[in-house]
Amino acid sequence: MKKKSKIPNMISRGSAFMRLALIRTKAFIAYCTTGVWSDTRRSWRINTIKTINLTVRSFLNTDLQNRASALTYNTLLAIVPALALLFAIGRGFGFENLLQTQLFQALPSQKHALEAGIEFVSGYMQQASQGLFVGVGIVVLLWTMISLMSNIEDTFNTVWGVTHARSFGRKVIDYTAIMFLLPILMICSSGISVMASYALVDNPRLHFITPALKVALDVAPFVLTWMSFTGMYLAFPNTKVRFKNAFLSGIFAGTAFQILQYLFLSGQIYVSKYNAIYGSFAFLPLLLIWLQLVWTITLAGAVLCYSSQNIFQFNFSNDISTISLDYKRQIAVVIMAITVKRFDDGRPPLTVTDFAANYHMPSRLITQLIDEMVMARLLSPVAVGEDIYAYQPATDPGKVTLGYVLGKLNSQGANGFIPGFQKEFADIIKVITDNTLRTIDMCDKILLRDLPLDNV
């Protein structure tokens, strides 16, 4: 009897354990998906969860997919001009065949697309030899490449929240330098690989380092891909990007890119149906899919780079989207009061990053509120570095009252654009306006500098 009585107890304990484990698992998933953004602690564990969260969300982000599609279209238009420029420079140095070999090695999954592109380029180069390449042809070619790079920069700036793009002159100089340096770097990397392969690996006197060099040569494609993505994340956004964040994102994007290459190579034997449908153009739909995925990976890496450098930008992201008007007004008044108090005390103005770090405020909300307050002429930006701005009062702090701030915030933005609204609801609007103005007048005697503020 005693043995039989233990079985229900064991089952009961096991069931209780499973329920507890399920509850904890659900709580952990809820924390990782939404709750982590309300956690202002900055330990490496929490930052890692936030980074993984953002990485997954970036792949599922509809806007990211749309931007990747736009860049896919721009890249498709620029493929032939890009190859023409690449081979024109390579021909000038006598390394045209070497560049072609490098391209096939770098993009093995797009062999058919490259062959078709090179065939177009051959005709393009023949026209060049007849003198048709000069003049308008060169301008169109360079403009196509600069336009593609400009679109890439605009997309990266959007990810980083940068509103000021490079000047046109700087774009031309920077992008032209990239276009002429890229083939040279490809030639140098190929030369290093050849030298390491023939001069070192096959040298009997250096047999003791051969295994290490073979491993290094096998890893080299990954390293070159990592550095390529890292350079892109450093160069294209018109803001200061830390190398550590760009490199970590480059490793992520570069590894994902190499995995994509492998999947396309191994999967091409299963797409023979495309050959029957599209014939000689079978490579085109596969190229479009590949480009879309490559740009999705690239932009996901850009989001990862931005978020890892500014992880606190996404704090309280779910709450910001549903913030109440009253709470938003309170935060704006506090920001203005802190700014006035620091100005009175002769202390340096704060940047958005400073507000976020010192007061645990979400940067996205602060950026939004400060932009509105600058437009309302409550705050004035002050340059404290390259593309870095702090904010100070836009008017005499002795005249900045609570009523003044509320009045400016209340009138900021578009209004009166609904046809017939003012006339149809005139009585209600009058009651609202009169009571709002009465409240603002009551607050017009309270100077912000007199508000109790200790933590400034």
- Are residues 157 and 186 both part of a single domain? yes
Q: 234 and 356 share a domain?
A: no
Same domain for 92 and 215, yes or no, is: yes
Question: Does 295 reside within a domain?
Answer: yes
Q: Residue 49 — very low, low, confident or very high, per pLDDT cuts 50/70/90?
A: confident
Same domain, 321 and 416: yes
What CATH number corresponds to the domain at position 326?
1.10.10.10
The predicted pLDDT at position 204 comes to 58
435 and 349 in a single domain? The answer is yes
Rounded Cα distance, 254 and 51, in Å: 17
- Same domain, residue pair 200 and 275: yes
**How do strand 388-393 and strand 350-351 relate by DSSP bridges?**
antiparallel
> Of 312, 327, 359, which residue is a domain's last?
312
Q: Tens digit of pLDDT for each residue in 216-258?
A: 666 777 888 888 899 889 888 888 888 988 999 999 888 888 8
Neighbours of 198 (CB within 10 A): 10
| Domain carrying residue 29 | 2-33
CB 106 within 8 A of CB 321: no
Mean pLDDT of the chain, nearest integer: 77
Taking only the tens place, the pLDDT of each residue in 276-312 is 555 555 667 777 888 888 898 899 888 888 877 777 6
Residues 24 and 120 in one domain: no
Query: Distance of alpha carbon 196 from its chain centroid, rounded?
Result: 36
Per-residue H/E/C for 211-272: HHHHHHHHHHHHHHHHHHHHHHHHHCCCCCCCHHHHHHHHHHHHHHHHHHHHHHHHHHHHCH
Please tell me whether residues 89 and 188 are part of one structural domain.
yes
Q: Does 260 map to a domain?
A: yes
Strand partners, 385: 388
Side-chain half-sphere of 167: how many Cα atoms within 13 Å?
3
Is residue 169 in some structural domain?
yes
Q: 403-440 burial, b for 16+ CB within 10 Å, e for fewer?
A: bbbbbbbbeeeeeeeeeeeeeeeeeeeeeeeeeeeeeb
Residue 38 in any domain: the answer is no
Considering the domain architecture, whether residues 24 and 107 belong to the same structural domain is answered as no
49 found inside a domain:
no
Query: Does 456 map to a domain?
Result: no
The pLDDT of 313-336, averaged and rounded, is 79
pLDDT tens digits, 80-139: 777 777 777 666 666 667 667 767 766 666 666 777 777 776 666 666 555 545 555 566
Same domain, residue pair 338 and 243:
no
Say whether both 223 and 283 belong to one domain: yes
Q: What is the pLDDT of residues 382-414, one digit of tens each?
A: 988 766 789 999 988 888 899 999 998 888 877
Query: Per the structure, how many domains does the chain have?
Result: 3
- Spatial separation of the C-alpha atoms in residues 374 and 336, rounded to whole Å: 11
Whether 51 is in a domain gets the answer no
Q: Are residues 384 and 297 in the same domain?
A: no
- Cα gap 271→306, rounded to integer Å: 37
Alpha-helical runs (H) found in 132-167: 136-160
| Residue 12 counted as domain residue | yes
Q: 167-218: per-residue pLDDT in tens?
A: 777 777 877 777 777 666 666 665 555 555 555 555 556 555 556 666 666 6
